[in-house]
Amino acid sequence: MVTNVEEAVDAAKRIGFPVMLKASEGGGGKGIRMNDNEEELRANFPQVEAEVPGSPMFMMQLCTGARHLEVQIVGDEHGNAVAINGRDCSTQRRFQKIFEEGPPTIAKPDTFLEMQRAAQRLTQQIGYIGAGTVEYLYKAETDEFFFLELNPRLQVEHPVTEGLSLVNLPATQLQVAMGIPLNRIPDIRRFYGRKDAEEGDGPIDFMTEAYKEIDTHVIAARITAENPDEGFKPTSGTIERVNFQSTSNVWGYFSVGANGGIHEFADSQFGHLFAKGSTREQARKALVLALKEIEVRGDIRTTVDYLVQLLETEAFKENTIDTSWLDGIIREKSVSTELDPHVTVAAAAIYRAYAQVQAGEANMVEALGMGQLGMGALKSLNNFPIEIAYKDIKYNFQVQRTSADVYTFTINGGSFEAKVRESPDGSLLVEYDGMTSKIVGFEEPLGLRVIIDGTTCLLPNIFDPSELRTDVTGKVVRYLQDDGAQVEAGTPFVEVEAMKMIMPLKATESGAIKHELSAGSIIATGDLLASLALKDPSKVKKIEAFDGKFDIVPATPEFFVADPVTALENVIDGYERLSELRPLEELVQGLMKKCSSADEAANTVATLLQRFCAVESVFAGKVQDDVNQALVKDKKDALAEVVGLNMAHSQFTNRQNAILFLLRQFASLSIAQFAERPMTDELSAALTTLESLEGKEYGSLKIEASSLIREASVEPFSSRKEALRETLSNADDVAQLARGTTISSGVDLLSSFFTDSDSKIAQKSIETFVRRVYRAHNVLNMEVTEVDGVYTANFEFNLGGMEEPGPLRKGVMVVAKDEADAVAKFPSIVDSFSAKIGANTYDSPVNVIHVAYGNPAIIGTDAEASTIATAEAMVAKEKAKLESMGIRAVHIIAPQPEMDPRYFSLTSCDDYREDPLRRDMRPTFYHLLELNRLLDNYDVQRMNSVARNTQVYLGVEKSNTGRGPAPQSVFLRALSHSADLTTPSGSTRVLLTALDELDRAVLDERVTATTSTRIFLNLLSEVETSTDEALETFRSILGQLQSRYATRLLRLKVDEIEVKIRVKGADGSLTPLRLIASSMSGKWLKADAYLEFPDPVTGVTSQFCPLGEAGEDDAK
């Protein structure tokens, strides 16, 4: 017995360290400490005093390497004592039992029998009545045992003994208290094999007779509210649920239930499991399975995961442990419940992402219910960052929600998906990385606690290293250093009491300590206990950003939403699309491949369009706050729907891009797959709805919708092709056919006959095509030949509309089988053409080469780049020859099945690289539309147009020097072969067509409210009149148009109308004349005329001469 610390130190020195200090009234691990030296003894003595106040304390030398075995005894008032086998309780931490099992197989049978007999003798000698436990230390090495104590009560692990003996110990204890002798208690008689157990009363010599052989093994596990990651520190807090189902071989009980809790003054144990089997191994396996099935959810930490790991250690399986085994494991951290760090981080990121979205949506619903209509928070619902710090590493994820329940996490360029569903109990069922996990998370003062398939992980918050905070709830017992004293990292600085235990907390850094509380203060997890003036701030551990490959990222992308239609629906509903991982081309092509017919594809597209319009029709042409106010009123019981509509609308750009791509690719993909361009009633209705949306933001969509509607009204391709075949077959004069109006709508269609099986049709189509394309020029002669199935058209021409004919220009058009054939033949095409024309004698290139592919092939967005690259490589190899031959441009004509051909122009001025501005433009259009004039003064972007002979461009001035944005204009430039343009009806028709194009163009989101528009028309037909009469006619017609369409012209801000004509005199001479109605002088659309003097080689006008008031000599 020791009464103070000095007595304890003296006694320890006398008997020798290590020693055990124990309060006699303690138990369950409280009031007991092991001491290796005097310093530890002096520190532990006040802790034992505080844990069991007023209890006598005794001290003894520590017995190392021993097992804790105990014998269950019952004594009666008649002097009988029975030993009901015993238990092995060697698995302990801080001298508190964790596992109890029986029978104790570590002791030899004879030795354990002697331990039972000694326990019986002790019970009889002291006259003990009732159930109790005699505890021993057993040394397996020497087969010796030493008495510890007699525990005069029924212990919590008594069901272990009941499972072995089938003796009901509480009932037995009551019967003994009633004065019934042990030999007359039925359970005891059965235990000793008496057949007359119920009625018999014959004597039993408990000291000499043996009880029945034990054929069962039982292992028990205590469930405690402790944190195994922090040395089994007690934890306290609420418990939301405890889920455990007993089975035939595992039984358990819990002292708390749902919505209960464990306060800081309670014992940490709140549950006990008992597993049985015919052998120790079977019992162990049953307990492992049972522990894995337990679910405890709440503020507390539990040891459940850790116990599973302990049961799986080889030392436990082989039963080679002792009482210090678990404390050694805890000290060395050789057993851990930690998961792979990346699995833990991924689960934490998934939980936080889901929680953020749910909280955001709930807050928005609440705000709407309070009349707050702002939608700024929508931005953080589908695309947001998540930061996770774990083990001194910070992981920065970018989260994108790609559907209602699918999240994509991107880190360091790698991505993985997670599908999240919330269970009724609040847990998350998550699919990711090829597995399904159950995740529960709790945001706590010290960080995020996440439970992954039953394994608990704590991801601490990043705190200031100068702050020392508590991770337990309880009260401050005492500070171990004076205020202002130096404390070293890793040394205790305070003692706190939590759940009847006194425990020291250690400093995380070195420095001068400042107490923030006083002894006796009540504390909660996360409270600040002390501050540090850091000794060396430069040595403080830093959090590093993760910059490697995240292990969860799959080698190849995997998608939960594999169906392309569903993926597109998600985009249209406002969710994110990962453009790098799932390009629109892939989704749209997948949609088409999924459909079994053209009509099915059309109806699928219609469904997507209707889904888009269902949202936009709510907002189109209206103020968003007004819309939301009405929605809240109509859907006051379904405000989540209002949030969903706004979320979709807020992602307008992404949704619009998806719809635009779908509309632009649908026709070509349908033709490629089904050989037809369908238009069902459903698709027509959806396009009409899309076309009717009000608002400039829908401009591009409306253009595409109207284009598809218009194309659907065109006669089917097969019918048009057959009609053109008949026209070609009946044509005797191809030159006359090319100049006439018969094929005005079928010029591009001629490309489908370039390799026709009827050679006459093929040759006529080639000649007609060339003559029609060069109709504005003078084609002097042409020869179409066929050699080995290859058609070649050689022709000579000079520029039209010139007073002087200019240089003789030469061209060739060769029809190859396909792209590969063209690449193979191009060198011989160049050589053959070079032999015909020789070297160029002009300062500028004047000759042209056309290469057409015979076999039609779809050249969509994905194939376009490849086609251009192949053409550029083909031409680049012959660049030197082309320059010497004076080749102005190489034009590629690529027919497509049931569609207009693709045109690609590689020009000498661009070093024979493809010019995007000329793309899909017939070879002579660029010159006739005078686009070089635009490029000199504007940065030009091509815009969508409906008519094939019309191009629309958005130009931004290059010479802007102001502080604001550069002025911009929309330029409409068109060609016309119509001879009635000089009549009021013809001019009205052309102007209205132009204004329709401008109406569509100004809807483009790139066009600002101040953008002006300009119209240029090149009339290719010759006008038989004089220049003065032409100007008067222009002024007369312009006046009529201004009076009739002034409102529309002003709304579209038409600042200039320019018409280029060729006046044919009585002598047959041609005079280029430019008629201009401009507002630049201050008068709205004032009409003037200018004579043109083009360069005979380049065809570009180099001089203008005003006609009329300015006089013919005022050249400029």
Residues labelled as active-site residues: 153
Backbone angles phi, psi at 549, to 5 degrees: -90, 125
CA proximity to 278, closest of 258, 302, 249: 249
- CA Rg value for the chain: 47
Stretch (H or E) spanning 130: strand 130-139
H-assigned helices in 598-755: 598-619, 624-634, 639-650, 652-674, 681-691, 699-713, 717-730, 734-739
SS3 category, 832: helix
Please say whether the beta carbons of 571 and 401 come within 8 A.
Answer: no
Directed axis angle between helix 341-369 and helix 624-634, to 10°?
Answer: 90
Both structure tokens of 751: 């490309």
Using DSSP bridges, classify how beta strands 522-523 and 544-545 pair: parallel, antiparallel or unpaired: unpaired
Please say whether the beta carbons of 1079 and 1086 come within 8 A.
Answer: yes
* Euclidean distance between the first and the last CA atom of the chain, given in angstroms as a whole number: 123
Which residue spans within 918-992 are E strands per DSSP? 938-943, 950-957, 968-976
Both structure tokens of 567: 């993926």
Residue 1016's Cβ-count burial label (10 Å; 0-12, 13-18, 19+) is buried
Contacts of 806 (CB under 8 A, 6+ apart): 798, 799, 1096, 1097, 1099
Specify whether the backbone of 985 is left (phi greater than 0), alpha (psi in -120 to 50) or beta.
alpha
Contacts of 160 (CB under 8 A, 6+ apart): 87, 100, 101, 102, 218, 219, 220, 274
697/295 Cα distance (integer angstroms): 53
**b/e sequence 628-642, b meaning 16+ C-beta within 10 Å:** beebbeeeeeebeeb
920/893 Cα distance (integer angstroms): 9
14/12 Cα distance (integer angstroms): 5
Please say whether the beta carbons of 224 and 306 come within 8 A.
Answer: no
Contacts of 407 (CB under 8 A, 6+ apart): 350, 353, 354, 399, 400, 401, 417, 418, 420
916/650 Cα distance (integer angstroms): 32
352/336 Cα distance (integer angstroms): 25
Type of residue found at 869 = A
Directed axis angle between helix 169-177 and helix 158-165, to 10°?
Answer: 100
SS3 category, 564: helix
The CA-based angle 251-252-256, given to 5 degrees, is 160
Contacts of 362 (CB under 8 A, 6+ apart): none
SS3 category, 153: coil
287/304 Cα distance (integer angstroms): 11
**Percent of the chain as helix, strand, coil, to the nearest 5:** 35, 30, 35
Please state whether the peptide bond connecting residue 103 to the residue before it is cis, i.e. omega within 30 degrees of 0.
yes
